[in-house]
Structure 1
């Protein structure tokens, strides 16, 4: 190597080192300004400094929330004078509910009233839910809005394709939104079929350009179908052949979905319209989407949305407050259990003060690493007096919560950090003791997980579980 070549190599090395320092400082500044979670902030700063260039690239693609400012701008443009009136109703309605502290807190958190006069029906898996949903689409007179995290191009999905295309052809306003990751990142058969047929369809936060869409971290996990602004379906059910038990698919997935009617449908339609507005820029504000709704039943209900476009983790905060208000019992049903530490602590403290806490999980989920990792937070809960129940196969994907057999929370959010802090999720709180008892009956416990089961695991398995837990923010 000549002297000039040596000098050039030294210069390039110094230039690379300087570039690394500049990038690491840029990441550090951004983290200090915008990351609220201390653990996440420390991790990203460490990655930026210890992994030259790669750390900066990972932060640019996975660590920056690009959706919040745009979503908040669009939402402000949609605000009307009625929002002020709605906020005034919150305090008034709180006084009539036995859980008034919970009622008032959720009202302050969401800015939405808890609506009287709703009817709700529980539907089990695709066997019951899909025929109802398809019939509703076929009977639509004005509008159909559908958002689904997974929307497969298989036997189950094709039935929905046919119904949606037919609705569009007879003049119904149809809008379909599929997640940019769950709906197929590199190829979405549903998107291709519907777009080719002329159905307005969009892919949420989808882009092949990483600087436009952090495709690994942010996902729309909501499942909502709204018909004519009068009838709605929501819960944990995706659209896929694995959800139809009668067809005996190779990997059966059980789930729980719900049909809702009454004033609450306006809040569900509004949530769908917000997602559609964010994705496409189109406003759905006509009477075809938002008709006047009558009271049709005894259930009080309110929508709780959460996602990286919010200032606060609304579903997580609602769950925390519900746990703190529980006097007799807490029942949690979830397919995945890796909650943020405050929720684990809240459940343990509830058990210590004498509340009966039941956590119902599948014995084996469809994510083995999650099953390994969940055993770490389950141990202190069992020590605190919580009951952990494992349900045998087939895998149950339901997400349910009941407080004191009176207050319920249903929807799309799992009990994990991804759902509470990264995904766009939608839950519905319900005040009705009869419905709450239905949920408890439908989630009957099975085999109990005991402390000895965890303590008797060999050291290699405990090390494996602890290592899996470190992946909690990304599972």
Structure 2
């Protein structure tokens, strides 16, 4: 036995470089082939293959951790589609005459939405805009406190701060009343506050889960990519809230004072709630393996107050719905004839979407883009400055909003169509995050959204090519270097 061990030791001592080389070549080749065969974006494929080849052992490890999409695509969706059909049928027929709702140019956008979303555009929805935490949080808390049967809540960030604990108290009271509750928080977003809010959820025995905590199958850790960026609250299957707002005290003037951040959320009643719940139910089942029956969590008929508007839910994420928000924004730019308004805190469109926006501007459409002058994510702000000149050269008007930071994600076209929700116009939202948006065909709601954007423009500073060219060289270089990492900011 000693002789065998000694022989093995001598063999490894002499040939270990050859063994390591062979192993690294095999692993790198396997990882590079996997990246080339599974990455649909040529830039991502080239990037990963380059990293793998240039770093023979570290590269494959990085690809294993951050490069492989482990989200299951078909099985849960097939189960969910069966459950969807089994329990619920829409009382509202799908909208067929979009011309009477918005205009003839939106006919093709309607068709695009049908093919991208898998949800049909439905009338009978009552949508109310909620500006900031001062309007959104009290309305959400009132709905929770009046809940009779169910509460489904999802957020990217749920801070353990003043407003977070107020929400916990309301959820705990509802839990004691026997309301059936499920709370889903992203695993990365849960780490924004210390201690995390999950301790209080656990203390009050409120059913909850963290999204994407186990990407490698054996490590309980949050996954840096594939985050759930969705923000959603559904109460009794009759009243929902969705948009861009996390649960953070900084969005209420009571706590944020003069530094209160801005955001926009929406109250929804009507058949769009079923679509929103479908998104939540899938995410919950994916995370916990628990199936939520539609019959228990949604009503079969809605009695939404007037006025009614056509709306639908648009899901997007690194699964079979990848690029849904990207396709919808491209389509909206293509049908615009007069005015496109965009407000985004993190505005880093890829070349395809930037081309769609620039083409609209060159066709004579007035394009207004509002971004923060002082971004809460400085690296993202720097990267934005590295490519924004391409839009200005095409004729887009770019505005840097002054005042407190605005987290709203809003877009309107021709005063008839709105696209609102959780999606930013950056690589993470367009390809990596799970996002949840609403498209709304209505002049009144679109007018309200447009007014919010116009109010920001009134006090904003116009960004010009001269301003960008006058930046010191070291700042322009810094912006370009950080821009190279923009897909993962």
The TM tier, using the shorter chain, reads over 0.9
Q: TM-score, normalising length from structure 1?
A: 0.94
Deviations, residues 179-224 of structure 1 (Å, cap 9, x unaligned):
0001118966211211221110000011386766671111000000
Q: 1:162 aligns with which of 161, 164, 169?
A: 169
1:17 equivalenced with 2:21 (yes/no): yes
Note if contact 2:347-2:425 (Cα within 8 Å) is conserved in structure 1.
yes
In structure 1, runs of 5+ residues without a counterpart are none
Q: Equivalents in 2 of 1:157, 1:48: separation in Å?
A: 42
Q: 1:200 aligns with which of 203, 207, 214?
A: 207
Q: Structure 1 residue 376: deviation in Å? A: 2.1
Q: 1:414 aligns with which of 408, 424, 443?
A: 424
Deviations, residues 225-252 of structure 1 (Å, cap 9, x unaligned):
0001110101111101111123235853
- Which moved further from structure 2: 96-105 or 134-143? 96-105
Q: TM-score, normalising length from structure 2?
A: 0.91
- Change in 2 beyond 3 A, CA 1:209/1:109: closer
- Change in 2 beyond 3 A, CA 1:50/1:186: farther
| RMSD (Å), alpha carbons | 2.4
Secondary structure, in 3 states, of the residue corresponding to 1:338?
A: coil
Q: Structure 1 residue 287: deviation in Å? A: 3.0
Q: 2:303 aligns with which of 257, 269, 294?
A: 294
1:20-419 equivalences in 2 (<5 Å) = 20-67=24-71, 70-80=72-82, 82=85, 92-94=96-98, 97=101, 98=103, 99-184=106-191, 189-207=196-214, 215-248=223-256, 252-292=260-300, 293-296=302-305, 297-419=307-429
Alignment length (residue pairs): 470
1:464 equivalenced with 2:478 (yes/no): yes
Note if contact 2:48-2:63 (Cα within 8 Å) is conserved in structure 1.
yes
Q: Which runs of 4+ in 1 moved over 6 A?
A: 4-7, 83-86
Note if contact 2:94-2:122 (Cα within 8 Å) is conserved in structure 1.
no
Note if contact 1:148-1:223 (Cα within 8 Å) is conserved in structure 2.
yes
Aligned to 1:438: 448
Q: Structure 1 residue 310: deviation in Å? A: 2.1
- Change in 2 beyond 3 A, CA 1:58/1:198: same
Q: Equivalents in 1 of 2:215, 2:421: separation in Å?
A: 30
Secondary structure, in 3 states, of the residue corresponding to 1:39?
A: helix
Q: Structure 1 residue 8: deviation in Å? A: 4.2
Q: Structure 1 residue 393: deviation in Å? A: 2.5
Q: Equivalents in 2 of 1:242, 1:89: separation in Å?
A: 41
Q: Equivalents in 2 of 1:35, 1:157: separation in Å?
A: 39
Q: Equivalents in 1 of 2:142, 2:193: separation in Å?
A: 31
Note if contact 1:236-1:411 (Cα within 8 Å) is conserved in structure 2.
yes
Deviations, residues 298-356 of structure 1 (Å, cap 9, x unaligned):
21100001011225310111111111111111000000111111111111111001000
Q: 1:426 aligns with which of 424, 436, 445?
A: 436
Aligned to 2:3: none
Note if contact 2:252-2:260 (Cα within 8 Å) is conserved in structure 1.
yes
Q: 1:448 aligns with which of 462, 467, 486?
A: 462
In structure 2, runs of 5+ residues without a counterpart are 1-7
1:474 equivalenced with 2:484 (yes/no): no
Q: Equivalents in 2 of 1:125, 1:189: separation in Å?
A: 23
Q: Structure 1 residue 7: deviation in Å? A: 6.7
